[in-house]
Amino acid sequence: MSKKRTGGPELNPRQIRVLYCVSREYISSGKPVSSKQVLEHSNLKFSSATVRNDMRKLEFLGYIYQPHTSAGRVLTDKGFRFYLDSVRTITDDLQESNVAIAIRQTSIVGDVEHLLQGMTRILARAVSGFVVIEKPKFDSLLVNSVAISKITDGYLNVSIVTDLGVSLNTTVFVGTSDFDISSFQKYVNMAVVGKTIGEIRKGIKNVELRYDQWHDRRLQDIIHFLQSIFEKEDEEKYYKYGLEFIISNDHLDSSDISGLVKSVENPRNLELLLSSFGEFDDYRVFIGDEVGRDELKNFAVFASPYTRKNEKIGYVFIISPKLTYYEKINAYLSFSINRLSEVFSNR
């Protein structure tokens, strides 16, 4: 495995090696690192005085700091970023790992709901973090069929099946309208099958659906019916799992845990947090202050989109303490993204 050693132009090769060793030791132990520990737990052949001087330089440049006078050094956000960049090119051989096998087995599942739920749980356990997988964006889904059935007087159950296997189920109130469900289902399918949900929403607004030669009353019923289904925003856009791993982490205090729980405890708060990272087309990592919330300053957020034939259809997020094995999360996230993109591209 090759390691890409990075660091600003202010660091010489020796200081980069010292910083890498400090990073590895701190991430492994979670405790402040002294120059003595750096020499004991590495193959560096420098004197203790040289390592101490380099650590002072690294502290001056903002990569590490001393939490109190009697302690060693710990990483700053800049130091964590250095470590992430150092290990980003490391790709562990995951092909035969238990996690990789579980992910591949989950990928075979035909039902998208079970696929994404399973992937969320496997990934959370593998990285000991909180994982969020966004459902495929509704507007990009192509409608294959619509099934309508009566629940009770005035209420219909509607099940919409899309090309990716994602099903949308909802209950619609139609009041005292008296019409033949079989015939109505036929007309609804004629109107929407073969269109994306985004096109249907746009069509509803512009009243430009197919078969617009229908009687005005029939067209009005269809439009109102479709509005009640497709103009709803899905309240549960994400699958999420893994808070128990955060709660049991020894390197977080109660305020850290409380801050995360408040940020993800309900769909609205979770949406506000994840949308704050904006749109992006490739792998991103936000460390500490980069997360943008003081209550999450001790966390890192790893994120990447998954695609269908190069079309971005959703995101995977991993929220972890920033004191973590970045190379491990990099590898598992990359593997999961590749499997999801492969599955959806082949549907």
| 205 and 148 in a common domain | yes
What one-letter code names the amino acid at 83?
Answer: Y
The pLDDT-based confidence of 269 (bands split at 50, 70, 90) is very high
Could you tell me if residue 5 is inside a domain? no
Residue 306 domain flag = yes
Give me the helices (H) in the chain, please.
Answer: 13-29, 35-40, 48-60, 77-87, 98-107, 112-127, 181-192, 197-206, 216-230, 243-247, 254-264, 267-275, 326-345
User: For residue 146, is it within any domain?
Assistant: yes
Asked whether residue 319 falls in the same domain as residue 256, the answer is yes
Cα–Cα–Cα angle for 41, 46, 50, rounded to 5 degrees: 110
pLDDT at 97 (0 to 100): 60
Determine how many CB atoms are found less than 10 A away from the CB of residue 274.
20
Q: What is the mean pLDDT of the chain?
A: 84
Residue 174 and residue 287 in one domain: no
- 140: DSSP letter: G
Considering the domain boundaries, does residue 60 fall inside one? Answer: yes
Domain boundary among 230, 249, 276: 230
* Residue 184 and residue 202 in one domain: yes
How much is the average pLDDT of 57-79? 91
Number of domains, the chain: 3
Clarify whether residues 55 and 191 are in a common domain.
no
> Of the spans 38-42, 80-84, 156-160, which averages the highest pLDDT?
80-84
Q: Are residues 255 and 177 in the same domain?
A: no
Same domain, 120 and 246: yes
Name residue, tokens 């491990």: 328
> What range defines the domain where residue 213 resides?
139-230
Q: What is the pLDDT, as a whole number, of residue 128?
A: 95
CATH number assigned to the domain comprising residue 61: 1.10.10.10
* Residue 4 resides in a domain: no
Cβ contacts of 254 within 8 Å, gap of 6 or more: none
The enclosing domain of 306 has a CATH number of: 3.30.450.40
Residue 7, in any domain of the structure: no
Shared-domain flag, residues 244 and 307: yes
Per DSSP, the three-state class of 171 is: strand
Mean pLDDT is lowest, of 1-10, 133-142, 293-302, for 1-10
Domain membership of residue 62 (yes or no) is: yes
Q: What is the pLDDT of residue 168?
A: 78
Prediction pTM value = 0.81
**Does residue 213 lie in a domain region?**
yes
- 86 falls in which pLDDT band (50, 70, 90)? confident
Confidence band for 105, pLDDT divided at 50, 70 and 90: low
Query: Do residue 121 and residue 242 come from a single domain?
Result: yes
- Are 191 and 209 in contact by the 8 Å Cβ rule? The answer is yes
**223, 244: one domain:** no
Better-scored residue on pLDDT, 32 or 183 = 32
Same domain, 175 and 28: no
Residue 104's pLDDT is what?
62
In the block, tokens 């996230």 appear at: 333
DSSP lists the bridge partners of residue 317 as 132, 303
